[in-house]
Amino acid sequence: MKKILILAANPKDTSSLRLGEEAREIQAALKRSKNRENFEIFTEWAVRVDDLRRALLDHEPTIVHFSGHGSGTTGLVLENNLGQMQLVSTESLARLFKLFQNKTECVLLNACYSKEQADAIYQHIDYVIGMNRAIGDIAAIQFAVGFYDALGAGNSYENCFEVGCTSIDLEGIPESDTPVMKARPRLNSVSVQKAELNNNIEAKNEKPYSSGGISQSVSGGKMYGGMQAVQGNYNQQTMRIKNTNSEHEKQLNQQDVMEFLLKIEQLIQANSDLTIAIKEKSLRYLGAAKEEVKLDEPDKQLIAGTLKRMAEILKINLNIWEDIKQILLKLSVWLDVDNNFFSF
């Protein structure tokens, strides 16, 4: 069951928005979908700062949809106790959503100039959508309808975003490049990880890989920073790393790196102390790192950042963390990061 939390704020001292229509259209899109029994919708109106925090705590939503005003660098517009505008800073929003990173999969900020907030929230949430400029009422509603039509049909968040942008286009509204999405690949279940783990690792040198890269950002239906198909054996470029068990240096190539990542995967899967939620979250970040390693020219900075996010989740369990930390230290030179990068 995916819980969808719709938050709406239209203070008295701001221009009027058709937020009621947007919420109604979202509910209608999911109600008529073939997978309607898989969704539960909660709506909060005239949202104040306290309401935002409490709604997230009460519902622990899978998807958070904000409808209202944005103000660019100064934050999102909520209401105070008098129904007037109260700004919530970008930093505060990012800090809040960090607390829900194990529950919330997607945040949609259907508000003008909300890209900056989306970028900040993306530090902690895998799929975040914001607007890179002002967006009109009709375009905002059409995007939402297209997004939730696709969600109800069982599409991925990336496809939902694309359908939303296309819905704006179909209406002849020249705003389809206003929505911007930042995304990481999300594995559907732990079973996907297990199936991949059972692949014949030794056959990697004989069989080419065909893999999509990591989707870093999407704007107006266009994807940037990855999602390109590649084929061929692992790039054999090497970096020197000092073996922790001796003073000899060892050559690492991308195949070696992949085997280290598979070892981490085995440790996570085998640890009975980790909750299912922690396993799934950490494996998603590990899966993103693995996909990037498969590319001919992997983004090492991106891999390092993704592994650090995984490490932040796993460090709560000292037993598994000590083993994983040793593997990460072996990878630190190949990743071009300092040994302290993975220290907490």
Measured between alpha carbons, how far apart are the two ends of the chain, in Å? 35
> What letters, b where the CB count within 10 A reaches 16 and e where it falls short, cover 188-202?
eeeeebeeeeeeeee
Predicted pLDDT of residue 186: 52
Structure confidence by residue, pLDDT tens digits, 18-32: 999 999 999 999 999
CA proximity to 179, closest of 232, 142, 124: 142
pTM of the model: 0.59
Predicted pLDDT of residue 283: 87
**pLDDT greater than 50 at residue 36:** yes
The sheet with strand 106-111 has its strands ordered as: 39-44, 2-9, 63-68, 106-111, 127-131, 179-183, 217-219, 222-224
Structure confidence by residue, pLDDT tens digits, 217-261: 455 544 433 333 333 333 333 333 333 433 333 568 888 999 999
**pLDDT greater than 80 at residue 316:** no
Domain ranges of the chain: 2-183, 239-342
Task: Give 344's pLDDT tier (boundaries 50, 70, 90).
Answer: low
Structure confidence by residue, pLDDT tens digits, 118-135: 999 999 999 999 999 999
**pLDDT greater than 80 at residue 319:** no
CATH class of 2-183: alpha beta
Predicted pLDDT of residue 219: 52
Q: What are phi and psi of 259, to 5 degrees?
A: -65, -35
